[in-house]
């Protein structure tokens, strides 16, 4: 994979933005992160403002749902509806947008067992209580996934994966992960094999990133403070 060059995303007519490597569409996404509306259902909204921006950017939108585990089917539908609305306002060529880089909390997945694999399965959750799920994307092409947990109620641990990001087109990326590394107490070891995931970036701004996996799973990421 060849990472997008700074020339392909630079704004030549604005030296300040050119130095940062920010596209016009990314500047628009940056401004969206600060916009609010009175109600997600408000019809009198300027066309450039996502009607659901307030709900989607609020931590309460999917907070305390254990990554989506505790949500009802109706609540999952609501998440999907808001994500679909925000998708209309996605920047062009989001894979080239510098806003994708940084550390993100994985706050929701429509298939809650996807992030974390077996540790997040029905049986796995009996023994492992998830504390946080984090994804870091470092320029130009490194992805770091980490799930931290408490095992058996008293042992702190985490499982982490490091992968290489490959750009497939203007929206889709592929990540090839090395074998996972498990840490529990004083134990630390790698196990398993390489793995591969594909994700379509459907929305990104300063605070929020949405993606859809190759199997249709919806992911909501919130930038870490």
Q: Across residues 52-65, what is the average pLDDT?
A: 58
Question: Domain boundaries in the chain?
Answer: 10-223
- What are 86-128's pLDDT values in tens digits? 999 999 999 999 999 999 999 999 987 666 666 656 566 667 7
Residue of 144, 136, 152 lying closest to 184 (CA atoms): 152
Of 60 and 11, more confident = 60
pLDDT number for residue 126: 65
Give the chain's mean pLDDT: 77
Higher pLDDT, 210 or 39: 210
Q: What percentage of the chain carries pLDDT values higher than 90?
A: 52
How far is 202 from 56, CA to CA, in rounded Å? 13
Residue 6's pLDDT band, with cuts at 50, 70 and 90, is very low
Q: In the predicted model, is pLDDT for residue 76 greater than 80?
A: yes
Sign of CA dihedral 139, 224, 179, 175: negative
The one-character DSSP state at 144 is E
Q: Is the pLDDT of residue 17 over 60?
A: no
In the structure, what pLDDT confidence band is assigned to residue 80 with cuts at 50, 70 and 90?
A: very high
pLDDT score, position 20: 45
3-class SS at 115? coil
% of the chain beyond a pLDDT of 70 = 67
- CATH number of this structure's domain 10-223: 2.40.128.280
87-97 burial code (b ≥16 CB/10 A, e <16): eebbbebbbbb
Which band of pLDDT confidence, cut at 50, 70 and 90, is reported for residue 60? Answer: low
Name the nearest CA neighbour of 127 among 159, 88, 155. 155
DSSP letter string, 96-108 = G-GGG-EEEEEEE
pTM of the model: 0.75
As a whole number, mean pLDDT of residues 52-70 equals: 65
Q: State the burial class of residue 103 (Cβ atoms within 10 Å of its Cβ: 0-12, 13-18, 19+).
A: middle
pLDDT of residue 117: 60
């Amino acid at each position: 994979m060849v990472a997008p060059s700074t020339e392909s995303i630079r704004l030549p007519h604005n030296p300040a933005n050119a130095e940062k490597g920010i596209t016009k569409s990314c500047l628009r996404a940056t401004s969206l992160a600060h916009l609010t509306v009175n109600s997600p259902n408000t019809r009198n909204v300027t066309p450039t403002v996502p009607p659901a921006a307030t709900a989607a950017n609020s931590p309460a939108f999917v907070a305390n749902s254990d990554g989506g585990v505790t949500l009802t089917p109706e609540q999952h539908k609501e998440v999907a509806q808001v994500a679909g609305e925000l998708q209309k306002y996605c920047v062009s060529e989001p894979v080239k947008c510098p806003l994708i880089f940084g550390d993100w909390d994985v706050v929701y997945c429509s298939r809650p067992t996807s992030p974390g694999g077996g540790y997040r399965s029905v049986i796995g959750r009996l023994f492992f209580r998830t504390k946080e799920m984090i994804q870091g994307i470092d320029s130009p092409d490194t992805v770091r996934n980490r799930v931290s947990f408490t095992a058996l109620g008293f042992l702190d641990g985490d499982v982490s994966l490091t992968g290489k990001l490959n750009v497939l087109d203007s929206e889709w990326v592929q990540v090839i992960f090395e074998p996972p590394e498990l840490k529990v107490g004083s134990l630390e070891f790698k196990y398993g094999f390489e793995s591969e995931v594909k994700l379509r970036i459907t929305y990104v701004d300063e605070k929020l990133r949405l993606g859809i996996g190759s199997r249709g799973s919806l992911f909501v990421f919130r930038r870490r403070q």
